[in-house]
Amino acid sequence: MPHRKIAAVTGGTGFVGKHLIHALVAKGYKVKALTRRSQEPVKSVEWIRGDMANIDALTQLIEGADVIYHLAGAVKAKTYKDFADINIASVVRIVQIAQEKAPKAHFIQLSSLTAREPQLSDYAMTKYLGEKALQDNARNMVWTIFRPPGIYGPGDYEILKLFKGIKLHIGAVPGSKKNRISILYVEDLVNALISAAHEKTAFSKALDIDDGHENGYSVSEFISLAARILDIKIVKIVIPMFLLKFFGFLNYLFSHVFGYIPMVTHKKVNELCFPDWICKDEHAMNFIKWKPKINLETGLLKTLKWYKQRNLL
């Protein structure tokens, strides 16, 4: 009987992870996925209880894997150390275990386009150093890093905030209407992650990945398209960076007083207002057998349908 390929997944209960696990099972993989909480049984999925600091759980997860998808990451945290514990230290930990328990596995790490500009924030810096941690510790292991921009689709709650603002006839633009972004539909990202497994042309590469739209989109046209899909006329309001920084700093202070984890801080504003989030380095399309299939309008329509089916909008 031929060997059934085993995929080990961290971050499997997150937005991208759920889509990836579903697609891997459909492709015939056996999936082992890390989870901090009990999960409903899923055919061909073995849930392993533990977190990114649990050596025993990580060992069980990785042992015998043919491909390792490291998706887990901290997108918000109170301190730099909190970001670093997940975005850097966990990479080293998993690579070290993999070298012993799955030395022939292809290690595929989901990073972020923000890693290109590590000076902007603690998140960006730790994503950059997380990439370095993989490269510096991999030794003979094969690896690929993906640097996606904004990821959206069914299950994403960030685009939901945009749609809710548009229903109030407001299009809030951080920093400048001219700022440009790349973007990617979640199913296209997942297909790329699966296509990259065992692709020698992707070995030892850090790859940008987006929907293939040349030169990305201005923030203004992105918001205009979302408004057109909802058939709502909006007023675009540019929120100056200094004002966002003020509110971000207040949010950071309040988070320490009231004990919550802040998403938008004065450092995060540096990312939100950065003028050039366009994929421009080595692109996934040039190294793996993959092309994006979902354009922005189609992707937003699919996402909007998902929101409406669940009475979220």
281 pLDDT tier (thresholds 50, 70, 90)? confident
Q: Which of 102, 169, 150, 92 lies closest to 126, judged by CA?
A: 92
CA 229 to CA 220: how far, in whole Å? 14
Q: How far is CA 125 from the centre of its chain?
A: 15
Residue 4 is predicted with a pLDDT of: 81
What mean pLDDT comes out for the span 128-151? 96
What mean pLDDT comes out for the span 14-42? 95
Q: Which of 93, 131, 91 lies closest to 114, judged by CA?
A: 131
**DSSP codes of every residue in the chain:** -PPPPEEEEESTTSHHHHHHHHHHHHTT-EEEEEESS-----TTEEEEE--TT-HHHHHHHHTT-SEEEE----S--SSHHHHHIIIIIHHHHHHHHHHHH-TT-EEEEE--GGGG-GGG-HHHHHHHHHHHHHHHH-TT-EEEEEE--EEESTT-SHHHHHHHHHHTTEEEEES-TT-EE-EEEHHHHHHHHHHHTT-GGGTTEEEE-----TT-EEHHHHHHHHHHHHT---EEEEE-HHHHHHHHHHHHHHHHHHTPPPSS-HHHHHHHT-SEE---SSBGGGTSS------HHHHHHHHHHHHHHTT--
Task: Give, in order, the Cα–Cα distances in Å from 154 to each of 82, 157, 299, 309, 312.
Answer: 28, 9, 9, 11, 12
Q: Which of 38, 64, 124 lies closest to 88, judged by CA?
A: 124
The answer to which of 60-69, 140-149, 157-166, 185-194 has the lowest mean pLDDT is 157-166
CA 87 to CA 109: how far, in whole Å? 11
pLDDT at 60 over 70: yes
**Which pair of tokens denotes residue 204?**
């030892």
Residue 3 is predicted with a pLDDT of: 67
pLDDT tens sequence across 163-204? 999 999 999 999 998 999 999 999 999 999 999 998 899 999
256 pLDDT tier (thresholds 50, 70, 90)? confident
pTM here is 0.94
**Which pair of tokens denotes residue 290?**
């993959």
- What domains can you pick out in the chain, each with its CATH number? 6-156+183-213+277-293 (3.40.50.720)
CA 292 to CA 156: how far, in whole Å? 19
CB atoms within 10 A of CB 286: 11
| % the chain with pLDDT above 70 | 99
Q: What is the mean pLDDT of the chain?
A: 94
Residue 111 is predicted with a pLDDT of: 98
Contact by Cβ (8 Å): 282, 206: yes
96 pLDDT tier (thresholds 50, 70, 90)? very high
Contact by Cβ (8 Å): 17, 33: yes
1 pLDDT tier (thresholds 50, 70, 90)? very low
